[in-house]
């Protein structure tokens, strides 16, 4: 049966391109990005699914939002029944996209798909229309060939993923009890170009604003002031000790350690001949699961207290973002094994469970005690000018989902 399904999927290239083209032409931007929301795109998708596939049930969990003309942010749950409802296989994609940014950096109109050398250029083609098109065409092939799904399969299409997910998967999990611990949950929203990474864990993300208050003075009389810029630079070198204070290694991640990096630097004085009395920089910290962020705070404060005493400055700390890592999906979870088997069958590679330093919406599921994974074979052009996906990757990933949907284990 799988051979026939794969051959059917091979015949869908033109249909996939057409769906990508139609979706890209509907800019689904959230109100935070000066958009009108996802309603038009969601309506189009719902009609397309009814016309081209036909699900057994389609339910809405629309989040109220008076910032958009429709008054709601749509969240659609479409289910195709299988032989058993003992567990379900869920694939979640997001309808919204990010703005195109500087149009001068695009070689094409971001809202019109251009096909060139097997690549489909356009905003949203990879993030996350690739993750919508692939499971839909997998189900289309299975249904057209009269296949019987061993288990129920659900496609979840959510809003607001690019702006925090409060009106998307966050709302859906709050308002429903759709998902079970035995279910397979896949989020095709990140991955590697060769498809070898199954993301199962994320580090805590902690952005810290560090403000140093010294005393401004003329550069010719440095003893009359306290150079906050110098002290801030000194503090950055002291904070590097955090790598030694928190030396835990977890090989699931790359890099396998917690990272503490000074990144953004705010402007201080506008002229060269003034010693700055204030200094502001930021730390980007990606911290392994299991390390308490409160312990990190305590160690940073201890280092800052020492610098304050040594230089006679005041150091103020404030969080720009602080998100504790969700519990990891076990590397040997059934969904990981099933997905790895499907990837091996299609792509002939051994996909491995891995952790990442960034955040994904899979964390919402994991915090709810649901073992979700993130996987896709993508070129990693998300959020960039000239974003694209490839026809080859769409066809291949569609086969992976078809394989997963048809597994009886």
Share of the chain above pLDDT 90, in %: 97
Average pLDDT of the residues in 261-279: 97
- Residues 38-53 pLDDT 10s: 999 999 999 999 999 9
Asked if residue 226 lies in contact with residue 312, where contact means CB atoms within 8 angstroms, the answer is yes
56 is catalytic: no
- Residues 28-83 pLDDT 10s: 999 999 999 999 999 999 999 999 999 999 999 999 999 999 999 999 999 999 99
- CATH (one of 3.40.710.10, 3.30.70.360, 1.20.140.10, 3.40.50.10540) for 204-323: 3.30.70.360
Q: Is the pLDDT of residue 193 over 90?
A: yes
Position 21 scores a pLDDT of 98
Q: Buried (b) or exposed (e) across 228-258, using 16+ Cβ within 10 A?
A: bbbbbebbbeebeebeeebeeebebbeeebb
- Residues 77-110 pLDDT 10s: 999 999 999 999 999 999 999 999 999 999 999 9
Q: Is the pLDDT of residue 206 over 90?
A: yes
- CATH (one of 3.90.1150.10, 3.50.50.60, 3.40.630.10, 3.20.20.70) for 2-202+326-406: 3.40.630.10
Position 134 scores a pLDDT of 98
Structure tokens at 404: 């997963």
- Residues 207-219 pLDDT 10s: 999 999 999 999 9
Tokens 């289309």 sit at which residue? 140
Q: From CA 106, how far away is CA 54, in angstroms rounded?
A: 37
At what angle are helices 228-239 and 293-311 packed, to 10 degrees?
A: 140
For 156-214, give the DSSP string.
Answer: EEES-GGGTSTTTHHHHHHH-----TTSEEEE-S--BTTS-EEEEEE-EEEEEEEEEE-
Q: Is the pLDDT of residue 360 over 90?
A: no
96 is catalytic: yes
Virtual CA dihedral for 240, 244, 248, 252, nearest 10 degrees?
40
Instruction: Give the distance between the most distant pair of CA atoms in the chain.
Output: 85
- Residues 307-329 pLDDT 10s: 999 999 999 999 999 989 999 99
Q: Active-site residue among 96, 199, 202, 397?
A: 96
Predicted TM-score of the model (pTM)? 0.88
Tokens 């998967």 sit at which residue? 169
What integer best gives the mean pLDDT of the chain?
A: 97
Q: Is the pLDDT of residue 285 over 90?
A: yes
Structure tokens at 204: 């805590």
Position 358 scores a pLDDT of 81
Reduced to 3 states (helix: H, G, I; strand: E, B; else coil), residue 280 is: strand
Number of Cα atoms under 13 Å in the Cβ half of residue 233:
4
Question: Which of 298, 257, 263, 303 is CA-nearest to residue 283?
Answer: 263
Beta partners for 265?
281
Position 409 scores a pLDDT of 77
- Residues 384-405 pLDDT 10s: 999 999 999 999 999 999 999 9
Q: Active-site residue among 128, 161, 189, 202?
A: 161
Position 55 scores a pLDDT of 98
- Residues 226-268 pLDDT 10s: 999 999 999 999 999 999 999 999 999 999 999 999 999 999 9
Asked if residue 23 lies in contact with residue 45, where contact means CB atoms within 8 angstroms, the answer is yes
Virtual CA dihedral for 325, 356, 379, 5, nearest 10 degrees?
-80
Q: Is the pLDDT of residue 359 over 90?
A: no
Q: From CA 2, how far away is CA 35, in angstroms rounded?
A: 42
The domain segmentation of the chain, as residue ranges, is 2-202+326-406, 204-323
Q: Supply the DSSP symbol for 389.
A: E
Average pLDDT of the residues in 133-143: 98
Q: Alpha-carbon torsion 173, 190, 81, 333, what sign?
A: negative
The helix (run of H) or strand (run of E) holding residue 146 is: none
Position 313 scores a pLDDT of 98
């Amino acid at each position: 049966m799988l051979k026939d399904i794969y051959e059917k999927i091979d015949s869908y290239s033109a249909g996939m391109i057409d769906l990508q083209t139609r979706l890209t032409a509907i800019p689904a931007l959230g109100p935070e990005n000066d958009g009108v929301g996802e309603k038009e795109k969601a309506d189009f998708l719902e009609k397309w699914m009814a016309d081209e596939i036909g699900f057994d049930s389609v339910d809405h969990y629309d989040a109220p939002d008076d910032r958009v003309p429709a008054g709601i942010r749509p969240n659609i749950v479409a289910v195709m029944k299988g032989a058993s409802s003992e567990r379900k296989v869920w694939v979640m994609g997001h309808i919204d996209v990010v703005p195109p940014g500087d149009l001068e950096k695009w070689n094409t109109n971001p809202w019109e798909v251009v096909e060139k050398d097997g690549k489909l250029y356009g905003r949203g083609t990879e993030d996350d229309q690739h993750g919508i098109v692939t499971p839909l065409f997998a189900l289309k092939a299975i249904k057209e060939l009269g296949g019987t799904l061993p288990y129920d399969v659900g496609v979840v299409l959510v809003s607001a993923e690019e702006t925090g997910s409060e009106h998307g998967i966050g709302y859906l999990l709050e308002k429903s009890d759709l998902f079970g611990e035995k279910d397979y949950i896949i989020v095709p929203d990140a991955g590697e170009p060769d498809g070898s990474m199954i993301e199962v864990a994320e580090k805590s993300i902690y952005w810290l604003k560090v403000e140093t208050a010294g005393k401004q003075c003329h550069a010719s009389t440095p003893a009359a002031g306290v150079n906050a810029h110098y002290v801030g630079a000194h503090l950055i070198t002291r904070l590097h000790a955090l790598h030694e204070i928190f030396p835990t290694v977890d090989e699931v991640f790359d890099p396998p350690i917690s990272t503490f990096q000074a990144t953004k630097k705010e402007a201080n004085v506008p002229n060269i001949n003034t010693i700055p009395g204030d200094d502001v920089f930021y730390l980007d910290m990606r911290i392994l699961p299991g390390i308490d962020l409160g312990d990190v705070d305590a160690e940073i404060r201890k280092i800052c207290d020492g610098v304050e005493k040594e230089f006679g400055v005041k150091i103020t700390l404030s969080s720009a973002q602080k998100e504790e890592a969700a519990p990891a999906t076990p590397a040997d979870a059934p969904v990981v094994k099933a997905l790895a088997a499907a990837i091996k069958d299609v792509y002939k590679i051994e996909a491995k469970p891995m952790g990442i330093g960034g955040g994904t919406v899979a964390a919402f599921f994991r915090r709810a005690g649901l073992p979700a994974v993130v996987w896709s074979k993508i070129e990693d052009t998300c959020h960039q000018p000239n974003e694209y996906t490839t026809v080859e990757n769409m066809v291949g990933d569609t086969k992976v989902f078809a394989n997963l949907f048809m597994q009886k284990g």
